[in-house]
Structure 1
Amino acid sequence: MPENTTHERTMQVLQQINEGQRQLEQYVTEQNMQLVEHIYNQVWGTRIISEIKLVPAEIRGIEIEEASDRLQAYISDIPDAEDIEFKSTLNVQEPKIGFVMRSANTESLRAALNDLKTHLAKYQGVNLIRDSMDKGSTELVFNLKPGADTLGVNLREVSKQVKQAYFGQEVQRIAKPGGDVRVKVRYSKQERESIDTLARLNIRTKDGREIPLMSIVDIEERPGVQRIYRRDGAKIASLHAEYAGDDQYSLMQEIHHEFIPQWKKRHPEVQFGRGDRGSDEESFIATVLRLEGLALLVSYMLMAIAFRSYMQPFLILSAIPFAFLGAVTGHLLHGATFTMFSMLGILAAAGVVINDNLVLVDAINRLREKGLSAFEAVIAAGKLRFRTIVLTSLTTLIGLLPMLWAQSIQAKFLVPMVVSLAYGVLFATIITLLFVPCLYLASFDVKKLWQRFYLSEYYPLRNHQ
């Protein structure tokens, strides 16, 4: 709460928080679930801290994020609060809705923020709307009146003398053992605490005349900014909010496609960007995809050199999309949320898939070198490497089962990665044993057709057994 908040108002806010906690406990009780072990409230001046200790996750019956969303909705908004923060994890948690704006003009930033805040407040479920420009105190802006410069004063000199009157001007420094004593002249404490003192303040010109301040300047009162953030030389401001609804994706799509284009037309000086949890995940996924693409390219080049073929590396890499399909299916079956850890699980599954396909294709090539036909080599390699491929996948899957079924809170955040890895390996193993051999035979037939119809005069067709 602001520093000048009365004790009565602080206690009213605490009662509002307690009422929200009571409604949350009532909801949990009606659903025959357990959630709260005890509640601890603390007030330090104008700062309110409320901690809720939850029962163990194994008997909780409600996800901690859902409980946090409901608590935010029950408490509702606290309009005069400087900052409100809900933490449902020990990690740094970005708000569900976040936007970042940048401009060289502070007033343009403030107008753009207020426009967006007004629009967000219309959506049901959006609460705790706050921005980085909310916390400044009121400031006074001096503007010279027309003709004031003919008196030999400028805005810089006026500001300097006003500062001297309120903060003091050093007139003497007395040397003493242990340090100098600085003597400053300024208004008394009572005069410094009153804005009315400005009406009696005189400004001294260069020729020694004294002119009343109010006769040469216009004073404008406007909301100030406590802290100005900059990035690449431009001022930036952020707007954050929480959302307690069920379909945040549709909400963000509506904001971006219906409101933001019109908002940009009204505020052409302001650049727009995202600053919520979704933007961090999208940035992470984009980075992972770029690095994975580079890794696949390097893998393809190495396998092309090893197998002396441009086609066979594609056969080996062909099962990776099915690993992704398996990961998505696993998330649907377990009701898990697709997160950044899910992407890491897919990458790990891709490594297992490539290893299985390498073993199979290498066995086919070795049998082909011994004189077997393509069809015979595929059948023989499948029998020869079946046990190796299946055991590799089964041991990986069995090793992941304890974590897949774990209910402890420490293992919850790893479940999406485990689901991706387990189901990705399971699906890709089936593809390796059935789909890759078929692709090998198909590629062999394509090669024969190529030789027969296009390269026969340069490369006579060989008899293949």
Structure 2
Amino acid sequence: ARRADQLNGLVRQYYLRTGGEVGDLQVNLVDKHARDRKSHDIAQGVLPALQAIAKRHGADIKVVEVPPGPPVLSPIVAEIYGPDYDAQIKLAKQVRAAFEATPDIVAIDDSTLDAASRVVLRVDAAKAALYGIPVAEVARAARLALAGEDITPLHDGSSKYAVPVRVALAPEAMGNLDTVLKLRLRGQDASGRGYEVALAELVRPLTLPAERVIYRKDLQPVVYVVGDVAGGPGKTDSPLYGMFALREGIAKLATPGGLPFQEHWIAQPSDRFTAFGLKWDGEWQVTYETFRDMGIAYAVGLILIYLLVVAQFRSYLTPLIIMAPIPLTIIGVLPGHALLGSQFTATSMIGMIALAGIIVRNSILLVDFIHQRLGECGDLQQATIDAASVRAKPIVLTAVAAMLGALFILDDPIFNGLAISLLFGIFVSTALTLIVIPVLYYAATWRQEAERACAPGTEVQPTHQGA
């Protein structure tokens, strides 16, 4: 696939790299069922050997994996802001040194480029006019010598598109300025007599500094320092732990000019002219935004569930009893992830949101049956016991069906967290719901009955609509 066709390359910006000194090599792995190692383990395994080869030849090499979620510039990204770009570069070099001094931080790089020079051929317009050669012709000859030129298309009748005929020097000649300057152009004097003139007579080579790339984010100049976490057996590959390990070294940095230094986690610095700022980005930013949005959705969902249950039972206390088992899902979800050695991901959070609806449904079944039995026998204790015993079988069967459905995505690398949340969350919360809901409902209703009985002149009647 071409670099411009890859979303990962678009975000990481390596599809913009051009030139003979850079290149990409895409490796396609066989199907996961035909190999024993995960793609992440393979990438981490070949990285040290490739870096050793690159170091031997003075090159820089990186192993980039296809991300399971939204691509980022790098797992760990430090964005450096400040009042002056040169000062930002100096501070970025110190931040990079802190990256290199931190154990388990690998694939370290920054967006600065070493100072380079370029050779510019400036046409001497006076000499070109003296030799009767237009300035545009001199420039065209220099461009042809340095880069080549398509002079005409060739149609062979079998190709879908025309084949360009390109005139260019040999590659070794293009890189030799002396060879280029020896090229000869045809000129003519005032009498019309033609003669040849060397390109060196018409141009003047100038060595100038190469243009510097200035990166900007939201219109603010920024210097990036990037890295990754090595991971491996017994280690975590979460970028967040790498960022925490880096903070101690970064806090000791000396800023250029003695200006204040501020650390930002969520938003860019509001004022980059009076202080230097470091904004953490990368996978942390994606994680924060994902869990923030899903947390808001979770809270809104709980509020809507509460309002619906209030409308159903016409009570403000009964919905709280019905929703009480929702926090109990954590007792199953978090230990389940730890037991299987899986990380709590965005899909795990989606599973917790789904669990809220499943658990509330079970609670409503129990409370509604208690109300029905109260209308029949009027005995709160017997109605509560009957609800737990009669409704246990359909609730358990529903839970088992949902858990069996989640088993099919348990080995999926992306939806693994969703499956774990559903499996362990449903198992634990279902078992606890059959105990917690009857006990809470009985305790709350019995207390209200007792308070009514203690009130003077109050006749106690069986409660049919809960609290």
Q: TM-score, normalised by structure 1?
A: 0.66
Query: Structure 2: which amino acid aligns with 1:228?
Result: Y
- Change in Cα spacing, 1:446 to 1:167, as seen in structure 2 (3 Å) is farther
Partner residue, 1:63: 38
1:335 equivalent among 324, 337, 341: 341
Partner residue, 2:104: 125
Q: CA deviation at 1:136?
A: 7.4
Q: CA deviation at 1:338?
A: 1.6
Query: Structure 2: which amino acid aligns with 1:194?
Result: L
SS at match of 1:195: strand
SS at match of 2:243: helix
Q: For residues 68-127 of structure 1, give each alpha carbon's deviation from its aligned partner in whole angstroms, at most 9, with x where no partner exists.
A: 123223323757657745224586543232222333421232122111001111123322
Gaps of 5+ in 2: 1-18, 126-133, 143-198, 261-274
Partner residue, 2:331: 325
Cα distance in 1 for partners of 2:285, 2:123 equals: 45
Contact 1:104/1:234 (CA < 8 Å) preserved in 2?
no
Query: Structure 2: which amino acid aligns with 1:306?
Result: Q
1:253 equivalent among 244, 247, 251: 244
Q: Kindly indicate whether residue 390 of structure 2 is the aligned counterpart of residue 378 of structure 1.
A: no
| 1:307-318 alignment, distance < 5 Å | 307-318=313-324
Contact 1:73/1:125 (CA < 8 Å) preserved in 2?
no
Cα distance in 1 for partners of 2:453, 2:86 equals: 74
- Change in Cα spacing, 1:193 to 1:358, as seen in structure 2 (3 Å) is farther
- Change in Cα spacing, 1:71 to 1:82, as seen in structure 2 (3 Å) is closer
Partner residue, 1:389: 395
Cα distance in 1 for partners of 2:406, 2:434 equals: 22
| 1:363-374 alignment, distance < 5 Å | 363-374=369-380
Q: CA deviation at 1:415?
A: 1.6
Partner residue, 2:425: 424
SS at match of 2:79: strand
Query: Structure 1: which amino acid aligns with 2:93?
Result: N
Contact 2:337/2:420 (CA < 8 Å) preserved in 1?
yes
Q: CA deviation at 1:381?
A: 1.6
Cα distance in 1 for partners of 2:350, 2:336 equals: 15
SS at match of 2:225: strand
Report the number of matched residues. Answer: 353
Cα distance in 2 for partners of 1:375, 1:167 equals: 102
Q: CA deviation at 1:433?
A: 0.8
Farther off after superposition, 79-88 or 104-113: 79-88
- Change in Cα spacing, 1:192 to 1:432, as seen in structure 2 (3 Å) is farther
Cα distance in 1 for partners of 2:382, 2:350 equals: 38
1:355 equivalent among 351, 361, 367: 361
Partner residue, 2:157: none
Partner residue, 2:224: 238
Query: Structure 2: which amino acid aligns with 1:259?
Result: G
- Change in Cα spacing, 1:117 to 1:369, as seen in structure 2 (3 Å) is same
Q: CA deviation at 1:296?
A: 0.7
Contact 1:126/1:241 (CA < 8 Å) preserved in 2?
yes
Query: Structure 1: which amino acid aligns with 2:221?
Result: K
Cα distance in 2 for partners of 1:307, 1:193 equals: 88
Cα distance in 2 for partners of 1:138, 1:368 equals: 89
Contact 1:98/1:276 (CA < 8 Å) preserved in 2?
yes
Gaps of 5+ in 1: 1-43, 140-162, 170-180, 197-220
Query: Structure 2: which amino acid aligns with 1:429?
Result: T
Farther off after superposition, 128-137 or 282-291: 128-137
SS at match of 2:315: coil
Partner residue, 2:172: none
Cα distance in 1 for partners of 2:375, 2:242 equals: 60
| 1:95-110 alignment, distance < 5 Å | 95-110=74-89
Q: For residues 130-177 of structure 1, give each alpha carbon's deviation from its aligned partner in whole angstroms, at most 9, with x where no partner exists.
A: 1223377559xxxxxxxxxxxxxxxxxxxxxxx9x95999xxxxxxxx
Q: CA deviation at 1:349?
A: 1.9
Query: Structure 1: which amino acid aligns with 2:380?
Result: A
Q: CA deviation at 1:292?
A: 0.7
Query: Structure 2: which amino acid aligns with 1:412?
Result: P
Q: CA deviation at 1:434?
A: 1.1
Cα distance in 2 for partners of 1:105, 1:70 equals: 40
Contact 1:68/1:88 (CA < 8 Å) preserved in 2?
no
Partner residue, 2:215: 228
Cα distance in 2 for partners of 1:389, 1:272 equals: 52
- Change in Cα spacing, 1:450 to 1:64, as seen in structure 2 (3 Å) is farther
Cα distance in 2 for partners of 1:227, 1:168 equals: 32
Query: Structure 2: which amino acid aligns with 1:132?
Result: S
Contact 1:400/1:422 (CA < 8 Å) preserved in 2?
yes
Query: Structure 2: which amino acid aligns with 1:50?
Result: L
Contact 1:104/1:235 (CA < 8 Å) preserved in 2?
no
Partner residue, 2:303: 297
Partner residue, 1:195: 207
Cα distance in 1 for partners of 2:24, 2:222 equals: 29
Contact 1:83/1:130 (CA < 8 Å) preserved in 2?
no
Give RMSD over aligned pairs. Answer: 3.6
Contact 2:344/2:417 (CA < 8 Å) preserved in 1?
yes
Cα distance in 2 for partners of 1:228, 1:168 equals: 35
Q: Kindly indicate whether residue 351 of structure 2 is the aligned counterpart of residue 345 of structure 1.
A: yes
Q: For residues 207-226 of structure 1, give each alpha carbon's deviation from its aligned partner in whole angstroms, at most 9, with x where no partner exists.
A: xxxxxxxxxxxxxx7x8532
Contact 1:264/1:270 (CA < 8 Å) preserved in 2?
no
- Change in Cα spacing, 1:183 to 1:412, as seen in structure 2 (3 Å) is closer
Q: For residues 198-243 of structure 1, give each alpha carbon's deviation from its aligned partner in whole angstroms, at most 9, with x where no partner exists.
A: xxxxxxxxxxxxxxxxxxxxxxx7x853243131x42223221122
Query: Structure 1: which amino acid aligns with 2:65?
Result: K
Contact 1:110/1:133 (CA < 8 Å) preserved in 2?
yes
Cα distance in 1 for partners of 2:124, 2:428 equals: 77
SS at match of 2:40: helix
Q: Kindly indicate whether residue 87 of structure 2 is the aligned counterpart of residue 87 of structure 1.
A: no
Partner residue, 2:407: 401
SS at match of 1:194: strand
Query: Structure 1: which amino acid aligns with 2:414?
Result: F
Cα distance in 1 for partners of 2:101, 2:84 equals: 27
Q: CA deviation at 1:184?
A: 11
- Change in Cα spacing, 1:53 to 1:361, as seen in structure 2 (3 Å) is same
Contact 1:112/1:267 (CA < 8 Å) preserved in 2?
no
Query: Structure 2: which amino acid aligns with 1:111?
Result: K
